[in-house]
Structure 1
């Protein structure tokens, strides 16, 4: 955890609405904290669990427009009382690219910076370019560098933190299923959204899991709230852990012998905690969206998907 300096300036940071993007923004957030900012994050409720080990407060963003403005205005009033210079400087950084994020900040009286585009530059105190050919992590990193007025290279690994309590909870869940650390394959087979109208889910995932289990591998799945029924239907023999908070999920990923995943938020979590990860990609562009880290193996052959045999061979090479 990065301890905030006593003289740290409050900075509101609007997170994106997706787990993977939030993981990929972590190096940029840490860079801001290292340069004297006390981060006050605004985002989805799940971000609290995901970022718990970092120690940054997360203000849960309301769904309604009026409630969002009230929240931001109250934060502005609070930080003005703490920091007399709050209103005289850039005091908000927007990670989302959307027009609405800039509009919310402007109407709340905040002085925001963020990427140009979507016709929103006039709402920002300063708009920064989105450079071509960048991985998404690098986009967020360069935005933080532009905000700070520095140049720096992004880290090779994200190093998502896991608390002792999260690890203990994960170990208890595993023990309840008769599992040991390093002795199971954790699968992340669901992927919300599409790429150019194409499904990001590996269609052979169910057949792959059947073959994996036939070979004697213990398979674990941690479905999100909207994925429980799909997990029951498609992976009935996998060990299913429902209702797991994202911080504990980080620990389960870290403790796995191997993680096999689609293009999905938990894949970025797995890479972030340093889990050994096989990332099976289809239409997703890996130069922009591959999980980031030295423990990642990307398997992509497009316009065809990789075969079950190819992925099973990679599993056998990765595990004893």
Structure 2
């Protein structure tokens, strides 16, 4: 039996995607991942076959869930004379606290004043990128120093691929070529929004490529924004995350802000044009060989450069 390892996932889609190489490394070295995170994680990671427990609301509920999970792992054959380990991937105090109160031996970075909660403090990453940080956690737990892969691979089920093909057949015309845009991005970086101010005007310009433009909003507020700001795009509503990843992976071009779908696109080997502004590029740019990142570190890219780059990507043989 593989060693069970409860892994507290990060709270955002992009972070979970960037942690995939680390999770896969642990699984390849004899750990059985039991993931603990947001409700959407089970859909995103269906193709991995890993168990996912949706976090409850409030500390009391979460501690109860984790204690129950630890008992289940014991009953399934985890050695009684050994601690059941958990990895706190977020750097927050709360992520280590809930795992410790759940009865686990906790590993993670000794950040946010949580060192006393850890059974094993892991060494810091060699590089600045978030993917390298997650990778360092896995390597530290294994006691090895290994090179990080140059790309992220997101396994997808046949059902997710089929759902994406249905959307493509319905909306992309006989040739099946299309462009995806991901203009939504929440949160601030250094008090600056992560949404490219020129995105709506640029989407209008993309219509000149002669390809259908698909947009897949998430919450209701994004649906209304898509209808208002991107009337020339085909709105695909309520698409599951794994099918969304498959759709992105088959596109001729994805244009995205610093947002979760950008990382999904990179992990699906989509030709991604990542438009960055206040984002710290060396830490948060999408990871992979199919990514072209423009701007970042406090400066939005020139619109004409973005347009020329988009044309070049679409016209690649």
Q: TM-score range by the shorter chain?
A: over 0.9
Please give the residue correspondences for 1:16-95 in structure 2 after superposition, counting only pairs within 5 Å.
16-85=10-79, 88-89=82-83, 91-95=85-89
Q: Name the stretch that deviates more: 176-185 or 256-265.
A: 176-185
Task: Quote the offset at 1:129 in angstroms.
Answer: 3.7
Task: Quote the offset at 1:89 in angstroms.
Answer: 3.4
Counterpart residue number, 2:9: 15
Checking the alignment, whether the CA contact within 8 Å between 2:83 and 2:104 is kept in structure 1 is no
Q: Distance in 2 between matches of 1:68 and 1:238?
A: 41
Checking the alignment, whether the CA contact within 8 Å between 2:266 and 2:287 is kept in structure 1 is yes
Counterpart residue number, 1:3: none
Deviations 1:186-232 (A, max 9, x none): 00111111111011111000010111114423211000114111111
Matched, 1:227 2:222: yes
Q: Distance in 2 between matches of 1:61 and 1:250?
A: 23
Alignment partner of 2:255: what SS? strand
Counterpart residue number, 1:213: 207
Q: Distance in 2 between matches of 1:158 and 1:86?
A: 36
Task: Quote the offset at 1:85 in angstroms.
Answer: 2.4
Q: Name the stretch that deviates more: 206-215 or 24-33.
A: 206-215
Counterpart residue number, 1:286: 281
Q: Distance in 1 between matches of 2:82 and 2:187?
A: 40
Deviations 1:129-175 (A, max 9, x none): 43475200000001110011111001011111222221111111122
Checking the alignment, whether the CA contact within 8 Å between 1:228 and 1:242 is kept in structure 2 is yes
Counterpart residue number, 2:150: 156
Q: Distance in 2 between matches of 1:22 and 1:312?
A: 30
Matched, 1:174 2:148: no
Q: Distance in 2 between matches of 1:20 and 1:206?
A: 23
Q: Distance in 2 between matches of 1:86 and 1:216?
A: 63
Q: Distance in 2 between matches of 1:187 and 1:178?
A: 14
Alignment partner of 1:312: what SS? helix
Q: Distance in 1 between matches of 2:91 and 2:113?
A: 10
Checking the alignment, whether the CA contact within 8 Å between 1:39 and 1:56 is kept in structure 2 is yes
Q: Name the stretch that deviates more: 26-35 or 176-185.
A: 176-185
Task: Quote the offset at 1:283 in angstroms.
Answer: 1.0
Unaligned runs of 5+ in 2: none
Checking the alignment, whether the CA contact within 8 Å between 2:123 and 2:140 is kept in structure 1 is no
Unaligned runs of 5+ in 1: 1-6
Deviations 1:108-139 (A, max 9, x none): 11111011111111011112243475200000
- Runs of 4+ in structure 1 deviating by more than 6 angstroms, as ranges, are none
Q: Distance in 2 between matches of 1:87 and 1:223?
A: 49
Counterpart residue number, 2:183: 189
- Cα distance change on mapping 1:84 and 1:187 into 2, 3 Å: closer
Checking the alignment, whether the CA contact within 8 Å between 1:113 and 1:128 is kept in structure 2 is yes
Cα RMSD (Å) of the superposition?
1.6
Aligned partner (choices 83, 93, 100) of residue 99 of structure 1: 93
- Cα distance change on mapping 1:159 and 1:132 into 2, 3 Å: closer
